[in-house]
Structure 1
Amino acid sequence: MLGDVIKINDFKNEKHVPTIDCPDKVEPNEEFEVDVQIGKEIKHPNTVEHHIEWIDLFIQYDDDPNTVHVGRYIFGPVVGEPHVKAKIKLTKSGTLIALSHCNIHGLWENTKKVSVG
C-alpha cells in the first residue's frame, strides 16, 4: 500500500519533510496563501544526483471522505528550489496534505489543520 511507503518525520530534524505554512483559521471563501517548502530548517541538496522532483498539495475536508487535489508542482534538478506558494479558498474546515518526492529517498508527507468559520 502507498501508506506503507510514505515517510513522515519532524521537519526540524529531516530535510525531506514538506513544511506547510498558512493561517490556522480562515473565513469561508477567504483567499489565503499556503506556503510549502522542502528543507525549511535543514536544506535539501538540489543536484542532478539528489533532488526533489515534485510537491503535491491536497485538502481533506473534515466531513468528506474524498481528498481534493489542489495542485502539483514539478522541479528540475539543480536550478529551482522546492518551494511553492498557492492561493486557495476553503468553504469548510479540513487538513492540508503536502506530499513530496525525492529521487533517492522516496515519498514524504506532512499535514496541517485549517479551521474555517
Structure 2
Amino acid sequence: MKLADFIKSEDFKKEKHVPVIEAPEKVKKGEKTEISVCVGKEIPHPNTTEHHIKWIKLFFQPDGDPYVYEIGNFEFNVHGESVKGPNTGEVYTEPFVKTWVKLNKSGTLLALSYCNIHGLWESSLKIAVE
C-alpha cells in the first residue's frame, strides 16, 4: 500500500476539494513569478470547525529532473473554534495562498491539499521557462 493510493484528483469544476493552481503558462528564466493555489475555486469548500482544509503544499518537478522540490507548506489553523463552541469564533482562515518563485527550468507545479474529513487531493500545472 502507498500513500499515493489514497490521493484523489478530479476536475476542479466538479469537485470542491481539488487544489487549483494559477500561474502563467510561460515565464522568463530567473524572473519572479506569482503562483496562487486555492481549494474551492468554482464550488466553495466548507470552512467550519467540523469540516475544513487543514493545509496546502506546493511542489515543483523540473523537466528531466528525478526530484520534486517543495516550494511551500501552508497551514490553515483556525476555523471558527471558540470556547463558546464550534463555529462561534471570531476568525476563519480561507484555503488560499499566494507565493512567488524564480524558476530556471520548465516543469510541473504540483499541489496537494488535505481536508480533515475527505483526505488528500492533488492537481498539477505545466509551466514553461523561456
TM-score (norm 2): 0.88
* Residues 1:4 and 2:22 are matched in the alignment: no
Quick one: distance in 1 between partners of 2:67 and 2:61?
7
1:76-115 equivalent positions in 2, closer than 5 A = 76=77, 77-78=79-80, 79-115=92-128
Matched residue type, 1:10 = D
Quick one: distance in 2 between partners of 1:84 and 1:49?
22
Identity percentage over the alignment? Answer: 56
How many aligned residue pairs are there?
Answer: 117
Matched residue type, 1:37 = C
Which residue of structure 2 lines up, in the alignment, with residue 66 of structure 1?
Answer: 67
Which residue of structure 2 lines up, in the alignment, with residue 50 of structure 1?
Answer: 51
Quick one: distance in 1 between partners of 2:127 and 2:104?
11
Flag the structure with larger Rg.
2
Quick one: distance in 2 between partners of 1:43 and 1:62?
33
Which residue of structure 2 lines up, in the alignment, with residue 39 of structure 1?
Answer: 40
Deviation at 1:2, TM superposition (A): 1.4
Quick one: distance in 2 between partners of 1:98 and 1:55?
7
CA deviations on 1:35-59 (whole Å, 9 max, x unpaired) are 1000000000001100000000000
Deviation at 1:114, TM superposition (A): 0.3
TM-score (norm 1): 0.98
RMSD (CA atoms): 0.6
Matched residue type, 2:75 = I
| Between structures 1 and 2, the one with greater strand share | 1
CA deviations on 1:52-108 (whole Å, 9 max, x unpaired) are 000000000111110000010000224110000000010000000000000000000
Runs (4+) of structure 1 moved beyond 4 Å?
A: none
Gaps of 5+ in 2: 81-91
Deviation at 1:115, TM superposition (A): 0.4
Quick one: distance in 1 between partners of 2:57 and 2:112?
5
